[in-house]
Amino acid sequence: MIVTTFCVDRADVQKYHAECAAKERANLQLIRTDAILYRLNEEDKKCKEKEVDKENQLLENGARDDVKRYLKSCKDRRHLSLAFRAKEHRRHQQKSREMKKKVIEERHNDSNLHSLDQKYVALAREKERAKAALDALYHLSNGCTFAQNPFTALLN
């Protein structure tokens, strides 16, 4: 009785393992199918995105070419005009005259400022000498003798 139970149990176990293996294969097949579908969907999305990008690039290139042509036509019209070229030449000459005048004015201002600096330095020296003279006179009035010259500081 024990042997038959063991055989029956062993057969049930093998049957159970076979069922589990079949379920596992079916599950793996389902996962594989899902992965293939996902990959195909992703490839389809990428293809659609590439098509949209290509169309956008064509539109951008066309717009860029249109702008280039328009700018070139505007530039050609401007340069064809003799009046414009003459005006441009006069404007350039006026600008160079203004630049020369500005340089001359800057030099003039610099030389004026330099002379004013020298003037103020001379005035400062004169103030120092006058102060020294006043100090010497002050010392003279505070008990000065004629034995020493009160202006020796100025003479040096």
The full DSSP string for 15-33 is HHHHHHHHHHHHHHHHHHH
In this predicted model, what pLDDT tens digit does every residue of 15-59 receive, in sequence order? Answer: 999 999 999 999 999 999 999 999 999 999 999 999 999 999 999
Higher pLDDT, 1 or 49: 49
> What does the chain come to in residues?
156
- The residues, ordered by sequence, that sit 6+ positions from 144 with a Cβ below 8 Å of its Cβ are 150
Q: Give mean pLDDT, residues 67-93.
A: 84
Q: How far apart are CA 119 and CA 55, in angstroms?
A: 78
Higher pLDDT, 112 or 147: 112
Q: How far apart are CA 108 and CA 43, in angstroms?
A: 77
Q: Which of 51-55, 82-86, 115-119, 123-127 bottoms out in mean pLDDT, i.e. has the lowest?
A: 82-86
Contact, 136 vs 121, CB < 8 A? no
| Paired tokens of 81 | 């005009």
The ranges assigned to domains in the chain are 2-143
Q: Which of 68-82, 84-98, 113-127 bottoms out in mean pLDDT, i.e. has the lowest?
A: 68-82
Threshold 0.75, pTM exceeds: no
Contact, 136 vs 126, CB < 8 A? no
